[in-house]
Structure 1
Amino acid sequence: MKVVLVHGIFNTGHVMRLLQKRLQQAGHQCFSPTISPFDGRHGIEHAAKELSQQIDAVYGVDANIVLVGFSMGGIVGRYYLQQLGGARRVSQFFSLSTPHNGSYLAYLPYPSKGIKQLRPKSALLAELARSEAVLEGVKLYSYWTPIDFTIVPSSSSFWRVANNKRFIIILHLSVIFSRRIAKAINNEIEG
């Protein structure tokens, strides 16, 4: 299966390499683009458009893919699916420690449109909540940890339309390094 892994804020595609390696060892073809600027200053919409262009450049415009988004990358992935037509080609979407309902940490003063869009009840998160029907043909998963001090509260990663699975993993970034997460994703892809 062709898998696209989307990193979170203040990271590059390289942060997804261990998860990418584990999925490749299971036989999947993986691509982990770098979305810039890394701090989301131009907003989720800009990042999702860049993601869409990179997916098309690597896999063409029609190939069926599995999408994995970590943290803000999960919201970028949702925007791609719900607002840019990505849902027509994505069979499964895995969000990992994604603030589907926002994070109070996004109120920290940092000049980034993307961070502001991750605040609870932001206009962007409300827009995504309203357009979830577009995802009807996509299998949705939200994997998260209650020991997450970046998604505040951690339960904000619970996504009502997804298959939610809680993992006891210490700290936000550790989710993408977890063998259990990689195995859970592979098991769902393999069906």
Structure 2
Amino acid sequence: MQRVVLVHGIFRQSRVFRKLALQLQQRGYTVHTPDLFHQFGALGLVELAQQLAKYLDTHLDDGEPFDLVGLSMGGIVSRYYVQRLGGIDRIRRFVAIASPHFGTWTAYGFPRKTALDMRPGSSLLADLNRDVTVLDRVQTTSIWTPWDFIIVPARSCCLPVGRIVRVDVFPHGMMAWHDRSLKAVVEALAAG
């Protein structure tokens, strides 16, 4: 049975994935939706990735591979887990939905540690992007919309590795709900 872990963004919790989780369960996936707590921005993305790693070590501790999907900030948290905490050896597929891989200018509007890590040129993003090609070891998909006014510029959502899938969904918040983006996620998980 295929397993998938869905990692939420900064201002939502796991319930943002209700519709996607149901679609995946109907296709036979076992779905995990951990809640990560950034304490209103006081924790950085490294600490959130450590929370994710702890969840995965507790709930998926059998050594079997799984797929990892991150929404917005959750995509960067997931990347840190994959690239820095050993996740690359545990996952088959990585799907990032509207995630600011190269930062977002809107992060300047939330002056807390969580958002500081998502500013263009942040040390965390520079570190992850230095060896982004490690993601070539798994099936990687970036899903983005040109109508994303939270991730600015929207092309920041496009990793330089793997597949890039454009969906015309407006706005950023609908990327977890809209049929087009959910279809893109399902297809990315079914690929290869």
TM-score (norm 1): 0.94
2:95 counterpart letter in structure 1: F
Establish whether residue 96 from structure 1 lines up as the match of residue 97 from structure 2: yes
Q: Which residue of 2 aligns with 1:171?
A: 171
How far apart are the structure 1 equivalents of 2:62 and 2:85? 12
Q: 1:52 to 1:119 in 2, by over 3 A?
A: same
Establish whether residue 18 from structure 1 lines up as the match of residue 19 from structure 2: yes
Q: Which residue of 2 aligns with 1:53?
A: 54
Answer whether contact 1:7 1:69 (CA < 8 A) is retained.
yes
Answer whether contact 2:165 2:184 (CA < 8 A) is retained.
no
> Following TM superposition, by how much is the alpha carbon of 1:109 offset from its aligned partner in structure 2, in angstroms?
4.2
Q: 1:168 to 1:74 in 2, by over 3 A?
A: same
Q: Deviations over 1:108-150 (max 9, x none)?
A: 143x212001011111100001122332311110001000110
Give identity over the alignment, percent: 38
Answer whether contact 1:94 1:143 (CA < 8 A) is retained.
yes
How far apart are the structure 1 equivalents of 2:97 and 2:187? 15
Q: Which residue of 2 aligns with 1:75?
A: 76
> Following TM superposition, by how much is the alpha carbon of 1:38 offset from its aligned partner in structure 2, in angstroms?
5.5
Q: 1:38 to 1:92 in 2, by over 3 A?
A: farther
Q: Which residue of 1 aligns with 2:64?
A: 63
RMSD: 1.3
How far apart are the structure 2 equivalents of 1:43 and 1:162? 26
Moved over 3 A (4+): none
Q: Deviations over 1:50-109 (max 9, x none)?
A: 001111211115120100000000000000000000010111000000001100001114
How far apart are the structure 2 equivalents of 1:146 and 1:136? 24
Q: Which residue of 2 aligns with 1:132?
A: 132
How far apart are the structure 1 equivalents of 2:178 and 2:17? 11
Q: Which residue of 1 aligns with 2:119?
A: 119
Q: Which runs of 5+ in 1 are unaligned?
A: none
| Map 1:151-162 → 2, pairs under 5 A | 151-162=151-162
How far apart are the structure 2 equivalents of 1:10 and 1:182? 19
2:89 counterpart letter in structure 1: R
Answer whether contact 1:13 1:34 (CA < 8 A) is retained.
yes
Q: Deviations over 1:5-25 (max 9, x none)?
A: 000002111111111111111
**Number of residue-to-residue matches in the alignment:** 190
Answer whether contact 2:136 2:161 (CA < 8 A) is retained.
no
How far apart are the structure 1 equivalents of 2:100 and 2:48? 16
Q: Which residue of 2 aligns with 1:44?
A: 45
Q: Deviations over 1:146-190 (max 9, x none)?
A: 001100111111111131111000100101102222222222323
More moved, 96-105 vs 133-142: 133-142
